[in-house]
Amino acid sequence: MKLFEHEAKAIFRSVGIPTPNGILIHSPEEAAGAYSKVDSNQVVLKTQVLVGGRGKAGGVVFASSGDEAMRLSQKLFSMKIKGEAVHSVLMEPKLDIRRELYLGVTYDKSKRSPVVVASSSGGVEIEEVAKTSPSSIVKQWVDSYTGFPAFMGRKLAAQLGLGGTLLQDFGQISSRLYTLFEAFDADLIETNPLAITGDGRLVAADARLNVADDALYRHSDLAKSERDRLASASTLEARAHEMGVQYVELEGDIGIIGNGAGLTMATLDLVNHFGGRPANFLDAGGGSSTESFLKALTILNDNPKVKVIFVNILAGITRCDDVANAIVTAQRTLNTSKKFVIRLAGTNEEEGKMILKQHSFNAYSDMEEAARRAVVLAGGAE
């Protein structure tokens, strides 16, 4: 589960990691009043969304007056960033940033160990830094039994060229960040950028905290965060979450169901390759039953943008006859007029195709052929 920036920053402050003192607003009308309470003539307005790239999308802007803040916030609240609507905006004093660093903690599965990652090139995605400037990244793998004391953070700081007070502060911040990583069962925690200000302070200008879904039962205090996350999702995304379906809404008109995240992503890529526009990511799961597929089909049937439903199944534990029965049941009970393109391969493939044929459905064996057909039916190129 991803936390919003303002939630992550509140957690950072609880352990003494410096962050700007901001005000969360929920409408443009609140902007002028909030501006008068921020201790700065210049403020930054930051959309609170759970996707990356908001800066490039225009979701981070600066204002120098209450009127300007209100005008700009009207635009921000009308935005969608990568399909996600803006329900709140964080207003903070504009920092005098002289240098941007990166600091984060994640889990290195290859070494079965947490790793603290730092870079002298902050302000951009760490993946891009790894491609363009790998020498600017330093890492320290952590023994979970001993943790990450401040002296280890100071060693990383020295590798980044920091000294004096900055070296000491970096050690403290990195140690506290690791403490939060463990305490919240995080997949990832980071500040990017960790800003060096004009007066020589280190400030977490941004904050990110992703909690492992499997550990949420240990964090009942984050229940409100989960409600906020769902409030920012589309109605269908919220329904899918309640039904236990992995669903992300996109902007296209070809609804996609796959069994397994890898196959589903490959299906999206293939549809896009042939000139189609995927309407969603929907992973029905590797061991999906008739019931789970019926839930998935219900979600796509209720999406008014979807013209064609492309079901792509590579069966193992999942059985093709179960999928076929779910499609037949969906057509009968949902009274759907949407077109179906179905690809079945694997366990009980022939049985599944026979069921579909008896109900006037055609099933493909080849994934590319099926993807092309879905694009054509949606009105794309031949």
Range with lowest mean pLDDT among 92-101, 233-242, 260-269: 233-242
- The 10s digit of each residue's pLDDT in 313-361 is 888 888 899 889 888 888 888 878 889 999 999 889 999 999 999 998 9
DSSP string, 117-149: EEES--SS-HHHHHHH-GGGEEEEE--TTT---
What's phi and psi for 34, nearest 5 deg?
A: -65, -40
CATH class of 235-377: alpha beta
CB distance 29 to 230 below 8 Å: no
Quick one: pLDDT band at residue 302, thresholds 50, 70, 90? confident
What's phi and psi for 289, nearest 5 deg?
A: -100, 175
Catalytic residues: 102, 190
Rounded mean pLDDT of 221-228?
A: 61
Task: Assign residue 293 a region (left: φ > 0; alpha: ψ between -120 and 50; beta: otherwise).
Answer: alpha
Rounded mean pLDDT of 190-216?
A: 92
CB distance 338 to 254 below 8 Å: no
Burial class (CB in 10 A: 0-12, 13-18, 19+), 214: exposed
pTM of the complete model beyond 0.75:
no
The neighbouring-strand residues paired with 93 are 43
**SS3 call for 13:** helix
Q: Percentage of the chain with pLDDT > 90?
A: 61
- The 10s digit of each residue's pLDDT in 67-102 is 999 999 999 999 988 878 898 999 999 999 999 999
Question: What does the alpha-carbon distance between residue 109 and residue 237 come to, in Å, rounded to a whole number?
Answer: 29
What's phi and psi for 291, nearest 5 deg?
A: -65, -45
- Sole residue written with tokens 């995080």: 186
- pLDDT averaged over every residue in the chain: 88
Look up the CATH number of domain 97-221.
3.30.470.20
- The domain ranges of the chain are 21-93, 97-221, 235-377
pLDDT at 173 over 60: yes
What local confidence, expressed as pLDDT, does residue 337 receive?
81
Quick one: pLDDT band at residue 234, thresholds 50, 70, 90? low
Rounded to the nearest angstrom, the gap between the alpha carbon of residue 252 and the centroid of all alpha carbons in its chain is 19
What would be the CATH architecture of the domain defined by 21-93?
2-Layer Sandwich (3.30)
Question: What does the alpha-carbon distance between residue 333 and residue 330 come to, in Å, rounded to a whole number?
Answer: 5
Rounded mean pLDDT of 266-280?
A: 94
CB distance 264 to 279 below 8 Å: no
